[in-house]
């Protein structure tokens, strides 16, 4: 019996390797067919800005040769997967994805000049709300509470940041936005933990309520009182010495507090969940709440606390849209970033660092559609605007079957007397 099971597993892995390998070979052929044929000229990527203290030479790539080589390497990776059937071929898929994006950028930039440093900086900035939404999701789902309401919490934080920031200044506005997010986290916790409402329905209800109330207040309050929708944004803070490093300085060390605090939250969350006793208890509640309760851990209190913290993180992420970006609130301005954050959480396998890297992938897709619009590529702007959402679908479709959430996720807990 065991031998049969092993043979079935091996056959399944072999079939999967062939499917992925053939897909990469076909993918390489398509890349060369659409981007390599007939392309001429050179793609110039600027690595420095006029204000940089140290200027780096431009990166110049021959378009046809680079795209052809990239397509050939992708096909080679596909052939290697078919021939060798490695146990872990994620690295080959990741390299193929990187080469495909590089080939696409070279095609779009052929005969033109493009600021690669500016795009990478935009990637980091646009990854912030997605990373924070993912962190909010991790804090909730690690204790087995599904938080579909992150999108609504982001939107509530954005509205609170604009309104209170306009009245009291950006710092107090940020604090109140965090508290508003925590308030909605408390509401979610009360619904799903205390009253055991279906977690998906409770999250959707929060999204619909916040969307409705912010739209109502925008049309009846902010439009008639524009001074209440004019919050000062947080200025960029250059980190001494590090901000002067070529490329890396502009990408990582010339941002406002939202970028720096996002990285701080990722580091603290990782340490908390995997290096402290409280984090171990939280993960125990997410995996086996009854066993955790027998060890003296309060499942109800733990879930309440983590869902509220998740709401506060989401409120902070929502404030980025107003206090960290444009200084004003517009209806539905979060644009589904809460849902993309959930995809980043799954892609990162419920680990803060993994979710951060996933958020950077989505942030890259988000910045890509804006930068390509500047290059005036023949791709319609509607398709460029779809880029981050297409990446979300592809990533979730490819990873959701392999990612394993906490075992008790979505299940209401009833304390036994």
In order of their start, the domains of the chain are 2-111 (no CATH), 117-399 (1.10.3470)
What confidence score (pLDDT) does residue 403 get? 67
- For residue 365, give the nearest of 388, 335, 396 by alpha carbon: 388
pLDDT of residue 246 exceeding 60? yes
What confidence score (pLDDT) does residue 48 get? 81
CB 155 within 8 Å of CB 222: no
pLDDT of residue 49 exceeding 70? yes
Give the rounded percent of residues in the chain with a pLDDT score beyond 90. 63
What confidence score (pLDDT) does residue 382 get? 67
Greater confidence (176 vs 405) lies with 176
What confidence score (pLDDT) does residue 266 get? 97
pLDDT of residue 402 exceeding 80? no
Mean pLDDT of the chain: 89
pLDDT tens digits, one per residue of 236-245:
999 988 888 8
Among all chains, which residue has been given the structure tokens 């994006």? 101
pLDDT of residue 400 exceeding 70? no
What confidence score (pLDDT) does residue 365 get? 82
DSSP states along 325-371? IISS--TTTTTTHHHHHHHHHHHTTT-HHHHHHHHHHHHHHHHHHHH
pTM of the predicted model as reported, rounded to 2 decimal places: 0.90
- For residue 230, give the nearest of 142, 330, 357 by alpha carbon: 330
pLDDT of residue 155 exceeding 50? yes
What confidence score (pLDDT) does residue 361 get? 86
CA distances from 404 to 273, 350, 395 (A): 17, 9, 15
Ranking 10-19, 112-121, 142-151 by mean pLDDT, the lowest is 10-19
What confidence score (pLDDT) does residue 8 get? 62
Name 238's bridge partners. 254
Greater confidence (46 vs 309) lies with 309
DSSP states along 79-140? HHHHHH--S--HHHHHHHHHHHHHHHHHHHHBTSEEEHHHHHHHHHHHHHHHHHHHHHHHHH
What confidence score (pLDDT) does residue 397 get? 62
pLDDT of residue 96 exceeding 70? yes
pLDDT tens digits, one per residue of 177-212:
999 999 999 999 999 999 999 999 999 999 999 999
Greater confidence (144 vs 8) lies with 144
Kindly state the DSSP code that residue 411 receives in the 8-state scheme: -
What confidence score (pLDDT) does residue 12 get? 63
Greater confidence (104 vs 399) lies with 104
d(C-alpha 30, C-alpha 92), whole Å: 18
What would the mean pLDDT of 293-309 be, rounded to a whole number? 95
Helix axis angle, 352-375 to 337-347, nearest 10°: 130
What confidence score (pLDDT) does residue 1 get? 44
pLDDT of residue 13 exceeding 70? no
Q: Are strands 113-115 and 42-46 parallel, antiparallel or unpaired?
A: parallel
pLDDT of residue 415 exceeding 50? yes
Ranking 143-147, 354-358, 364-368 by mean pLDDT, the lowest is 364-368
pLDDT of residue 391 exceeding 80? no
């Amino acid at each position: 019996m065991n031998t049969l099971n092993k043979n079935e597993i091996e056959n399944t892995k072999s079939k999967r390797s062939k499917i992925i390998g053939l897909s990469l070979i076909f993918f390489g052929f398509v890349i060369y067919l659409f981007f390599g044929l007939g392309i001429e000229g050179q793609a110039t990527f600027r690595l420095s800005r006029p204000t940089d203290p140290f200027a780096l030479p431009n990166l110049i790539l021959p378009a046809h040769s680079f795209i052809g080589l990239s397509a050939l390497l992708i096909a080679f990776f596909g052939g290697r997967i078919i021939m060798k059937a490695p146990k872990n071929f994620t690295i080959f898929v990741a390299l193929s994805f990187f080469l495909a994006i590089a080939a696409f950028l070279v095609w779009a930039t052929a005969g033109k000049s493009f600021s690669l440093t500016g795009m990478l900086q935009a990637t980091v900035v646009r990854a912030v709300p997605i990373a924070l939404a993912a962190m909010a999701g991790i804090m909730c789902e690690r204790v087995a509470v599904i938080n579909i309401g992150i999108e609504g919490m982001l939107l509530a934080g954005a509205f609170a940041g604009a309104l209170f920031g306009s009245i009291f200044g950006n710092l107090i506005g940020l604090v109140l936005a965090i508290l508003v997010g925590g308030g909605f986290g408390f509401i979610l916790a009360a619904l799903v933990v205390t009253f055991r409402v279906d977690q998906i329905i409770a999250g959707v209800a929060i999204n619909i309520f916040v969307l409705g109330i912010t739209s109502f207040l925008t049309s009846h309050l902010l439009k008639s009182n524009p001074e209440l929708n004019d919050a000062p944004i947080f200025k960029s803070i250059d980190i001494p010495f590090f901000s002067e490093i070529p490329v890396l300085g502009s990408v990582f060390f010339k941002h406002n507090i939202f970028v720096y605090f996002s990285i701080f939250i990722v580091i603290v969350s990782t340490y908390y969940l995997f290096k402290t006793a409280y984090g171990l208890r939280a993960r125990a509640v997410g995996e086996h709440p009854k066993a955790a309760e027998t060890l003296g851990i309060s499942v109800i209190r733990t879930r309440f606390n983590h869902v509220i913290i998740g709401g506060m993180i989401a409120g902070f992420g929502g404030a980025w849209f107003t206090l960290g970006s444009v200084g004003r609130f517009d209806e539905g301005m979060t644009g589904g970033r809460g849902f993309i954050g959930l995809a980043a959480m799954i892609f990162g396998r419920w680990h803060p660092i993994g979710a951060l890297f996933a958020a950077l992938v989505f942030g890259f897709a988000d910045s890509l559609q804006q930068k390509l619009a500047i290059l005036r590529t023949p791709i319609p702007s509607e398709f460029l605007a779809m880029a981050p959402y297409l990446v979300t679908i592809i990533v979730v479709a490819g990873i959701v079957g392999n990612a394993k959430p906490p075992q008790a996720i979505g299940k209401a807990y009833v304390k036994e007397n």
